[in-house]
């Protein structure tokens, strides 16, 4: 079992909800820093645990345990890190009150007490409500068998299916590690385990992220796959609306996200055969899709629009998931190609769910909705002058902006053979979408093409949508070629940096930490200054895993 072994900046280090109780609201979660080996815990005032080791050669680096010749570090429970080393260990936080309590060094900040207790070559770092409680916990927990804790962490991976592609084995286990750390235990308004995009900085639950996480978990943890979806549906409002971002405290967002729930449910069912889960989800999905029809077609022409905030230059259309795409640089409301393709695809998936449940009338109703929207897509969102699908202003004018969304009609299965062939050709056009790392989020000949998120950056979810669509249209070899290019690049950057990233450079030249993300990055990556392409980003890990497993 070849585990990831590169120590670097940006790896999440925390206690997973798969191993026991953790805390969504008051999360004790760290990110690894560069030399020396150190953990920076996220809080209003960052608290750092530093081990004076310059040698970062590791046996393995996982999301809750890392080991080298000179160090063993394990996240033991939701408030405790245990370690063993002969190197000096310190903790510090700018402006924090420091004191000694019961033989432990204690920092008071962020409304908590952080205690470091060192005994010989062992140390414990604990957080609690008071200095006395933190010191007592550190002194008590330092006696735990750290080797047994490490072995339990390793046993988790040993029990999972082996990597089907040995050349990507370390990448495979990195994906599984990212999946694991980004799970929370039940809390407050969410009654089952749930997932998050990355715990730092996005600790809450997101709609379509959770669906992508479920699709990966379905291959090795069916219960977690179902819970990833179930948790989102628990937050549905009475009118069918589901927020795009959900908190365990019920303070949810006022916008939604793309319609992919039925697809995720069907993908999970394909691995579990659990009809009861289909029955649990079906009518809730139906209510969500009907909410879209009622609330996202303001001109009544049968095509859907995203809710867009044109005053927010850096994130005009958070609802689409494509925050800063040039698609939304206009001030006009758009009949959105992605919103409508996701609608067609999810309605057809829901129709299939209803057929499995032997509800023929419901199945027919959602097939009819899909047929109607598909007809509108082909009639109104095809730009013949460019040979591509694109958004259309409500005034009737095509925007002409070619994006990765232009290929979603392949995914939704709405293309004629002739149009599918033209889209496949566009993917092989070096002036458009055939970049060294496919597929850019905006065409290469667009004046704003670059690396800034959706203004050129490559996103693995859209790559996989496109691969699935190409196969659906008979372009199997092209799909395979694009998938292998994607995997090769993701793996190369992983081997170089130790990380899986939120998005990548379409020219495959810039280390992902330094890609623009709503601004130019500082000389050294630090998400507190400006969010870089997020590390340990869960849906990137999920889609990498799914590509390795042959699902796309």
Structure confidence by residue, pLDDT tens digits, 274-296: 999 999 999 999 999 999 999 99
In a domain, 488, yes or no: yes
Chain centroid, CA 399 distance in Å: 29
Residue at a domain's end among 158, 188, 203: 158
C-alpha closest to that of 418 among 476, 473, 341: 473
Residue at a domain's end among 158, 175, 198: 158
* pLDDT value of residue 314: 82
pLDDT at 357 over 90: yes
Same structural domain for residues 154 and 170? no
In a domain, 36, yes or no: yes
Rounded mean pLDDT, 193-218: 97
Same structural domain for residues 170 and 126? no
Same structural domain for residues 262 and 393? yes
pLDDT at 490 over 90: yes
Instruction: Please state, as a whole number, how many other Cβ atoms lie within 10 Å of the Cβ of residue 69.
Output: 10
* pLDDT value of residue 313: 79
Confidence of residue 89 (pLDDT cuts 50, 70, 90): very high
C-alpha closest to that of 527 among 202, 163, 188, 284: 202
* pLDDT value of residue 178: 98
Q: 30 with 43: CB under 8 angstroms?
A: no
DSSP conformational letter for 164:
S
Same structural domain for residues 343 and 325? yes
Confidence of residue 42 (pLDDT cuts 50, 70, 90): confident
In a domain, 416, yes or no: yes
Same structural domain for residues 177 and 144? no
pLDDT tens string 402-411 = 999 999 999 9
Residue position matching structure tokens 């050709």: 425
pLDDT tens string 119-162 = 999 999 999 999 999 999 999 999 999 999 999 999 999 999 99
SS (H, E, C) 174-209: HHHHHHHHCEECCECCECCCEECCCCCCCCCEEHHH
Report the run of H or E that residue 92 belongs to, with start and end.
strand 89-92
pLDDT tens string 439-450 = 999 999 999 999
Same structural domain for residues 419 and 516? yes
Residue position matching structure tokens 């079992």: 1
Domain that holds residue 74: 12-158
* pLDDT value of residue 252: 95
Confidence of residue 55 (pLDDT cuts 50, 70, 90): confident
Residue position matching structure tokens 């002058």: 385
In a domain, 3, yes or no: no
pLDDT at 35 over 90: no
Mean pLDDT of the chain: 96
* % residues pLDDT > 90 (the chain): 95
Same structural domain for residues 278 and 328? yes
Strand residue runs (E) in 375-529: 382-383, 388-389, 392-393
Confidence of residue 250 (pLDDT cuts 50, 70, 90): confident
Same structural domain for residues 367 and 452? yes
Same structural domain for residues 224 and 363? yes
pLDDT at 44 over 90: no
In a domain, 297, yes or no: yes
* pLDDT value of residue 315: 86
Of the candidate ranges 204-208, 235-239, 309-313, 370-374, the one whose mean pLDDT is the lowest: 309-313
pLDDT at 13 over 90: yes
In a domain, 218, yes or no: yes
Query: Which residues are within 8 A (CB) of 368 and not within 5 positions of it... i.e. 6 or more apart?
Result: none
Residue at a domain's end among 133, 158, 183: 158
Sort strands 80-85 and 89-92 into parallel, antiparallel or unpaired: unpaired
Model pTM above 0.85: yes
Integer Cα distance of 172 and 154 in angstroms: 14
Rg (CA), the chain: 24
Integer Cα distance of 320 and 427 in angstroms: 22
Q: How many independent structural domains does the chain possess?
A: 2
C-alpha closest to that of 531 among 180, 198, 208, 63: 198
Same structural domain for residues 258 and 398? yes
In a domain, 364, yes or no: yes
Same structural domain for residues 149 and 208? no
Same structural domain for residues 458 and 532? yes
Q: 335 with 394: CB under 8 angstroms?
A: yes
In a domain, 516, yes or no: yes
pLDDT at 70 over 90: yes
pLDDT at 41 over 90: yes
* pLDDT value of residue 43: 80
What's the CATH code of the domain at 186? Answer: 1.50.10.10
Let me know how long the chain is: 552
* pLDDT value of residue 414: 98
Confidence of residue 552 (pLDDT cuts 50, 70, 90): very high
Q: What DSSP string describes 244-308?
A: SEE-TTS---S----S-HHHHHHHHHHHH--HHHHHHHHHHHHHHHHHHHHHS-TT-SS------
């Amino acid at each position: 079992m070849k585990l990831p072994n590169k120590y670097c900046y940006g790896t999440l280090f925390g206690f997973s909800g798969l191993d026991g109780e953790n805390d969504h609201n008051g999360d004790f979660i760290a990110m690894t820093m560069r030399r020396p080996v150190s953990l920076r815990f996220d809080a209003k005032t960052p608290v750092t645990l530093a081990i004076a080791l310059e040698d970062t050669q590791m046996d393995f680096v996982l999301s809750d345990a890392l080991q080298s010749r000179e160090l063993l570090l394990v996240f033991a429970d939701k408030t405790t890190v245990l370690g063993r080393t002969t190197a000096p260990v310190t903790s510090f936080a700018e402006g924090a009150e420091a004191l000694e309590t019961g033989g432990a060094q204690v920092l008071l900040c962020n409304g908590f007490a952080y205690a470091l207790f060192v005994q010989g070559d062992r140390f414990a770092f604990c957080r609690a409500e008071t200095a006395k409680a933190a010191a007592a916990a550190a002194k008590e927990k330092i006696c735990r068998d750290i080797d047994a804790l490490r072995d339990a962490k390793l046993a988790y991976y040993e029990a999972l299916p082996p990597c089907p592609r040995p050349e990507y084995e370390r990448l495979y286990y990195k994906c599984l590690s990212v999946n694991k750390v980004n799970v929370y235990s039940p809390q407050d308004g969410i009654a089952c385990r749930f997932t998050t995009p990355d715990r730092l900085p996005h600790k809450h639950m997101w709609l379509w992220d959770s669906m992508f996480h479920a699709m990966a978990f379905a291959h090795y943890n069916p219960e977690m796959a179902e819970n990833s979806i179930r948790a989102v549906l628990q937050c549905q409002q009475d009118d069918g609306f589901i927020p795009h971002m959900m908190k365990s405290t019920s303070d949810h967002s006022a916008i939604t996200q793309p319609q992919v729930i039925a697809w995720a449910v069907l993908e999970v069912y394909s691995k579990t055969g659990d009809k009861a889960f289909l029955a649990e989800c079906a009518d809730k999905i139906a209510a969500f899709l009907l909410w879209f029809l009622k609330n996202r077609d303001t001109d009544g022409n049968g095509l859907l629009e995203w809710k867009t905030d044109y005053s927010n230059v850096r994130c005009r259309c958070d609802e689409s998931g494509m925050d800063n795409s040039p698609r939304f640089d206009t001030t006009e409301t758009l009949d959105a190609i992605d919103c409508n393709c996701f609608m067609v695809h999810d309605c057809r998936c829901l129709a299939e769910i209803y057929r499995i449940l032997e509800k023929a009338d419901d199945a027919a109703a959602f097939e009819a909705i899909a047929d109607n929207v598909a007809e509108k897509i082909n009639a109104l969102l095809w730009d013949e002058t460019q040979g591509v699908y694109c958004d259309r202003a409500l005034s009737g004018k095509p925007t002409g902006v070619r994006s990765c969304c232009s290929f979603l009609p392949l995914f939704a299965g709405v293309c004629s053979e002739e149009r599918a062939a033209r889209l496949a050709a566009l993917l092989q056009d070096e002036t458009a979408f055939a970049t060294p790392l496919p597929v850019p989020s905006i065409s290469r000949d667009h004046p704003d093409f670059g690396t800034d998120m959706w203004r050129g950056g490559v996103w693995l979810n859209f790559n996989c949508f496109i691969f699935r669509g190409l196969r659906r249209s008979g372009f199997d070899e092209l799909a395979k070629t694009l998938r292998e290019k994607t995997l090769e690049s993701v793996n190369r950057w992983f081997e170089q940096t130790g990380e899986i990233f939120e998005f990548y450079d379409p020219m495959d030249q810039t280390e992902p930490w330094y890609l623009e993300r709503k601004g130019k990055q500082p000389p050294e990556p630090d998400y507190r200054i400006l969010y870089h392409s997020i590390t340990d980003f869960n849906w990137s890990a999920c889609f990498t895993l799914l590509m390795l497993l042959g699902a796309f």
